[in-house]
Chain A
Amino acid sequence: MDLELSPQDVAFRDEVRQFIADHLPQDIRDKMRLGQHLEKDDYVRWQKILYKRGWMGVGWPTEHGGPDWSPVQRYIFEEETGLGDCPRIIPFGLRMVGPVIIAFGTDEQKQQHLPKILSSDVWWCQGYSEPGAGSDLASLKTRAVRDNGHYVVNGQKTWTTLAQYADWIFCLVRTDESAKKQEGISFLLIDMKTPGITVKPIVTLDGGREVNEVFFDDVRVPVENLVGPENQGWTVAKFLLGHERTNIAEVGRSKNQLARVKEIAAAEMQNGAPLIEDPRFREKIADVEIDLMALDMTLLRIVSAESAGRAPGPEASLLKIRATEVQQAITELLVEAIGYYANPYVKDAMSAGWNEPPVGPDYAATLAPYYFNHRKASIYGGSNEVQRGIIAKMVLGF
């Protein structure tokens, strides 16, 4: 039992670190450091840089362009990109629909979609939740009815992240109204340019536009866009939920943000001394740092089990719960650290290229919105309550 990286893994870590230092565009790095809004082009530029290096298809088989990394190398890559202020990889293509197409898709679907997912030439979004189907996803109502070589889709999806950028959407739709609710669902790929699709923004409490409603009004989708057998969409969805468990921990990103808490707390003053010297605040930071270590060490146990060839179990739920709790705790500390300057809401300061002097310290503008925005973390991807239910059922046998 050890925690030392092998010489090869050290060399890999150094290589990734150096690559980020050399190739992450400075304007993107600056936005990341200040927590500013990223444009579509920022994500795509960075993903194309990784693609050119051969590092985009993490978790994909080599025949489809995966880099053939060990579980430890994947851990290192996640950690270094998180520590190194890199934008997150938009997961919908690479980590969600891509693996689904690899596992269940036809040859035609693979040829049509996989190369463009890998090269980030096509942006995907996820059509799962509906107004009446949140935690109870299987009660979804969007219908797809066969008609002359097509499915005709009617209904509404919601909370669709970055649908405003998307070229394609993968959807769970109901193809059999008479079956039990999990058994009448199919997995469809839909071109967002198809007539009858409308995207409407949902403004979130931080003032941002990240999520959307997507409406389908007699949208005609070729039957060739069905993935897996008709009415087996729930099986496909479950596969997807279980795929790539370990990257949800986002340990590197949280370590980076916690370092930001310390930097800000060292700059902010209280009673004539830096806030970080306040024993109560230091101990709050210590608690979060210890919780983050516990997450990291548990992740490393899972990574080691994977390295030894053991299939991952239902630990994704554990990681999801604790990772999002740590992320939220960090955003709380950030807001606490800046005191009064949590209040000003200067929308332009949240994007790059604003030329006026900041209100208060330059790091302050985005922190309260960041906190408010991150309340989503314990809700999305199966709420933390749903995850506890999964642990009770799958692990405890209740």
Chain B
Amino acid sequence: MQFALTDEQRMLQDSVDRFIERDYDFEHRRSLIATDEGFSDTHWKTFADLGWLGVPFSEEQGGYGGGLVEAGLILEAFGRGLVVEPYLWTVVVGGGLLSLAGRDDLLAEVIAGDLHLAFGFAEPQSRFDLADVATRGEKQGSGYRITGHKAVVFNAPSAGRIIVPARTGGAQREAEGISLFVIDPSADGVSVRGYPTVDGLRAAEVELDGVMVGADALLGGEGEGYPLIETTADRATAALCCEAAGVMQTMVASTQDYLKTRNQFGVPLSKFQVLQHRMAELFIHKEQSQSMAYMALVRAGQEDRVARARAASAAKTFVGDKGRIVGQEAIQMHGGMGVTDEMPISHYFKRLTMIDTLFGNADFHRRRFANLSGTARAA
């Protein structure tokens, strides 16, 4: 039992932190999110060169033999620096699905930095239910004809492939009968309406109007997509919790600094006990959020579905609840400066707030955790 980073994991995280310190200051981020694409291809190539894009995949699949833990640690550092490059969507989510389904050909392009991915798991009516899939995949000859609306598909405007669940059987909210398809956004019938998100990322509404795909577009077996989706969502949730933990670390450190340097009534704000105790709470929240994120990362690599799901849901609930407190309190303690666009803290706040909505918010995961826990004695 060593619930701490190994030397190699520490070195990996140090190298990400160094990249951010050297090449990714806040003004640079501001300029990136103002571009059409919303992030830097040059940085993405650097990530490929440094091996970060292949870190979570096995050597047999062309990766570097790490795992989700390493990807999570990269995202934690990205959270600290508020990096906008779509590592979560292309590598952890899209790459994760390709890896599970054995699509090593496409995975190689991801690892090389030549292919971006998006995953259209949400629909306008689905809210957080991964099984609520109204999009239809009708058998047509040897292939399929796909029709439906995918909502808020992150990274879709840059994606060379979009992976979508579509129903090839079963009723609308059943886990059975969902299939996963790899779609080329340039195919006939695909429309991608891109937009920026409030936290500076890119997403799109994806309409699929009778899109024709071959049998080779299927990821995994027909009607057997749900376990892949759920596994990927739990793994992505764990990684996302790491990003949230990283965001909280910077927010707490900035607020701590601000209270020490801002003078009112002739003393630094840090001398007021009412603020000291609130900061102590934020410190505890960010420490425990990191603990929970790491737990989810470690458990996500395990075979046991319930252990994995419980860990992911517990972490997401905790990070959602505490992230809201950390975000709002950090803004409040920055006073008027906290609500300006000029200060980085407001941008961190927006990212942390939006993370709660991804893959199910705190309430969703609290319910899921409670239902998975049953009445058994606590493990």
* A residues in contact (CB < 8 Å) with B: 1-6, 9, 72, 255, 258-259, 262-263, 265-266, 276, 279, 282-283, 285-287, 289-295, 297-298, 300-301, 303-305, 307-308, 315, 318, 321-322, 385, 387-389, 391-392, 395-398
Contact = CB atoms under 8 A, between A and B. Distances in A.
A293 to B, nearest CB: 5
A199 to B, nearest CB: 36
Nearest to B73: A1
A301 B293 CA distance: 12
A392 B292 contact: no
B90 to A, nearest CB: 24
B4 A1 contact: yes
Contacts of B376: 262
Given A283-B366, A396-B256, A396-B276, A304 B2 contact: yes
Contact of A293 (B6, B276, B292, B371): B292
Nearest to A254: B378
A6 B3 CA distance: 12
A396 B294 contact: no
A298 B4 CA distance: 11
B69 interface: yes
Interface string B1-43: 1111110010000000000000000000000000000000000
Given A292-B378, A298-B288, A397-B260, A283 B370 contact: yes
A62 B281 CA distance: 38
Given A262-B375, A289-B373, A318 B366 contact: no
A73 to B, nearest CB: 10
6 contacts: A258-B378, A262-B375, A279-B370, A292-B378, A301-B290, A397-B256
Given A286-B369, A294-B292, A322-B288, A308 B1 contact: no
B279 interface: yes
Contact of B280 (A255, A282, A290, A396): A396
B52 interface: no
How many chain B residues sit at the interface, stated as a range, is 35 or more
B177 to A, nearest CB: 28
B278 to A, nearest CB: 9
B1 A286 contact: no
B1 A2 contact: yes
Dominant secondary structure of chain B at its interface with chain A: helix
Given A290-B317, A388-B277, A259 B295 contact: no
A266 B2 contact: no
B128 interface: no
Nearest to B284: A318
Contacts, number: 143
Interface in B174-233: none
A138 to B, nearest CB: 18
Contacts of B318: 290-291, 293-294
Nearest to A291: B318
A265 to B, nearest CB: 8
B2 A1 contact: yes
Contacts of B256: 396-397
Given A308-B4, A389-B280, 6 more contacts: A1-B69, A282-B371, A297-B288, A298-B291, A305-B4, A321-B284
Nearest to A292: B378
Contact of B298 (A2, A266, A307, A398): A2
B3 A1 contact: yes
B212 to A, nearest CB: 44
Contact of A304 (B1, B259, B279, B281): B1
Given A2-B1, A297-B295, A289 B273 contact: no
B370 A282 contact: yes
B326 interface: no
Contacts of A321: 284
Contact of B276 (A262, A286, A392): A392
Contact of A5 (B1, B366, B367): B1
Interface in B273-314: 273, 276-277, 279-281, 283-284, 287-292, 294-295, 297-299, 314
Contacts of B353: none
